[in-house]
Structure 1
Amino acid sequence: MVATTMSAVRERGRYFYVWMAAVCALIAFGGFAPTYWLQLAPRTFVGPALLHIHAAVFSAWTLLLLSQTWLASQGRLDHHRAWGLAGIALASVMVVLGIAAAIYSMKVGLAAGYGDRSRGFLLVPLTAIGLFAGFFIAAIVNINRSETHKRLILLATISLLQAAVARVFFILATGGGPGARPGIGPPPPMAIALVPSLFLDLLIVAGMVYDWRRRGRPHPAWIVGLVVITAVVLLRGPLSTTPGWLAFAESLGHIAG
C-alpha cells in the first residue's frame, strides 16, 4: 500500500514541470493573441520585421521548454541534453532581440513626443530580459544539478511572461481593436506595470507549494527567484525616474542609431 502510494506521488511529480511549462506557453500565446497573433491574418498589426522575428523566437522558447520538460518526464535525457544546446543558442539570440525590440519601442515613443515616459519605461523590458539572462546563466552553471537547473529555467521563463500578462491588462483597459497594441500609445505608468509583474509571482508560489508538499520545504531556487524578481519589480518605479537611468536610456537610443 505504501509502495503504491509513493509510486503514484512520483508519477504525479514527473509531470509537474510539464504542466508548469504548459501554463507558461498558454500565458505567452494567450497574452499576445489579441495584440499580435490574431492580427496577423487581417494584417492589422503594424510594426517592423524586428517585432515579427522577436515574436517567433520568443514563442519558440516556450515551445522548446514544453518539449524539454516532456522529454525529461519520459526519461529521454539524451534528447533533452541535445536540444539543450539549441536552447543555449536560442536564449542568446533572445537576449539580443529583446534588447533591440525594447530600444525600438522607446524610440517610437520618443518620436511620438513621450520623452522621459518612454525613457523611464525602457527599464521594464530591459530588466525583464536581464532577469531571463541571469536565471538562464545560473541554470547552465547548475546543469548537473537537475533539481536546481529545472527550477532556474522556469524562473527564467516566468521573467519573460511579464509582457504577455501586461497585454491582458492592456486589453481589459482599452478594449483592444484592430491594430491596437502597447507601444503605439503612451507608455503606461510604472505603477500599472507593477500589477502584471507581481501577478506572475503566483507561478513561483505554485512551485514552492509543490515542493512543500513533496519535499517538506521549498527549494532555495524558488525563494531566491521570488525575492530577486519581486525586488526588481518594486525597484523599477523609483529607478526609472532617476537622472542616471534617463541619461543611460538616452544613450542607448543614440547607440542604436
Structure 2
Amino acid sequence: MTILIEDRRVRASASPARYFYFHMATACAAVAFLGFAPTYFLPLAAGKFSAPPSVHVHGIVFFAWSLYFVFQAWLAASGQIGRHRSVGLIGVSLATAMTIFGFLTGVTMMKRSAEVGQADGGIAFSIVPWSGILFFAVVFAIGVAMVRRPEVHKRLMLLAGISILDAAVARWFLTFLAPPGPPGPPPVAVTIPPALVAYLLLVVAIVHDWRTRGRPHAVYVVGGIVLVAVKLLNLPISATHAWHAFAGGILAMAQ
C-alpha cells in the first residue's frame, strides 16, 4: 500500500523534464546498437561473424543491460518507483555479468593478438576494456548504494551508461575512418577520440542540469573529470613495464 501511494504521488508530480533520463537512456541504447551494427550485429545476422563464446555472451549481456537501462529509466519517469526498485536486482546481476565478461573479453583479445604475433600490442590494448569496465562497475556500485538519494542515483546510473559507449563509437571510427592495416589490436591512442565523442552525451546531461537547476551536479563534474582522466591515462600507463608485467602475467595464466 505504501508503494502504491508513493507511486501515485510521483505520477502526480511528473513533468516533461522527468523523461529526460529516459530519453538519455534510449540514446545510450541507440548508440550501443548502431555502433556495433557494422562489426557485430549485421555480420552475425549474415553468418559472417566468428568469435569465442565469451565474446558473444559479452555482447548479449552488454546489450541486455542497455535495454534494461531504458526500461528502468521509463519506470522511474512514469512514476513507477516501487516497480523500479523491485527489479533492481536484475541490474545488479547484469552489471556483475558485464564486469566478469568484460574482463574475460579483454583476456580473449590478448590471446588472439598473441596468435597473430602482436602480443605486446594486445597487452597494451587490454587496459582499454579493463579500465572501462572497472569504471563502470565502481560507478554502478556507488549508484546502487545511493538508491535512497534519487538525484544522485539517477546521475550515477547515467554516467555509468555513458562510460561504456566508447567501444560502440570506436567501431564507426575503425570501420569508416581507419586505414587498412595488419590484423591485431589498434593503438591505444586511437581509442581516445571516439571516447570523447561518446562523452558528448555527458555534456548534454550537464547542460540539462544547468538549465533546470542552475548548475551541474557534482556527480557530473567529479565523475566526468575522473572518466576523462581514466581514458587519457590509458595511453601512458599502457606503455609502462608495470602494466605489461601485470597484463602479461594474466595472459600467461590464460594460455
**TM (normalized to structure 2)?**
0.91
Does the 8 Å contact 2:163/2:199 carry over to 1? no
Pair 1:169-2:152 in alignment: no
Alpha-carbon deviation of 1:204? 1.0
Out of 106-115 and 57-66, give the one that drifted further: 106-115
**In structure 2, distance between residues paired with 1:236 and 1:51:** 22
Superimposed CA distance per residue, residues 83-123 of structure 1 (whole angstroms, 9 cap, x where no aligned partner) = 11111111111100100011101110011101211110000
Say how many residue pairs are matched: 243
Ranges in structure 2 where 5+ consecutive residues have no aligned partner? 1-12
Superimposed CA distance per residue, residues 37-85 of structure 1 (whole angstroms, 9 cap, x where no aligned partner) = 1112221001111111111110000000000000001111111011111
Moved over 6 A (4+): none
Pair 1:110-2:108 in alignment: no
Alpha-carbon deviation of 1:128? 0.5
Q: CA RMSD in A?
A: 1.8
- 1:69 aligns with 73
User: Paired residue for 1:158, among 158, 162, 175?
Assistant: 162
Does the 8 Å contact 2:14/2:79 carry over to 1? no
**In structure 2, distance between residues paired with 1:59 and 1:175:** 28
**TM (normalized to structure 1)?**
0.91
- 2:97 aligns with 93
Alpha-carbon deviation of 1:185? 1.9
- 1:230 aligns with 228
- 1:51 aligns with 55
Determine helix, strand or coil for the equivalent of 2:87.
Answer: helix
Superimposed CA distance per residue, residues 12-47 of structure 1 (whole angstroms, 9 cap, x where no aligned partner) = 211100110011000000000011111122210011
Alpha-carbon deviation of 1:175? 8.4
Pair 1:141-2:145 in alignment: yes
User: Paired residue for 1:20, among 24, 31, 39?
Assistant: 24
Superimposed CA distance per residue, residues 131-164 of structure 1 (whole angstroms, 9 cap, x where no aligned partner) = 1011001101111100100111111111111110
**In structure 1, distance between residues paired with 2:61 and 2:126:** 21
User: Paired residue for 1:188, among 165, 186, 189?
Assistant: 186
Ranges in structure 1 where 5+ consecutive residues have no aligned partner? 1-8, 177-181
Determine helix, strand or coil for the equivalent of 2:148.
Answer: coil
- 1:3 aligns with none
Q: 1:175 to 1:250 in 2, by over 3 A?
A: closer
Out of 73-82 and 166-175, give the one that drifted further: 166-175
% of aligned pairs identical?
43
User: Paired residue for 1:34, among 31, 38, 51?
Assistant: 38
Determine helix, strand or coil for the equivalent of 1:15.
Answer: helix
Pair 1:129-2:133 in alignment: yes
- 2:237 aligns with 239
Determine helix, strand or coil for the equivalent of 1:228.
Answer: helix
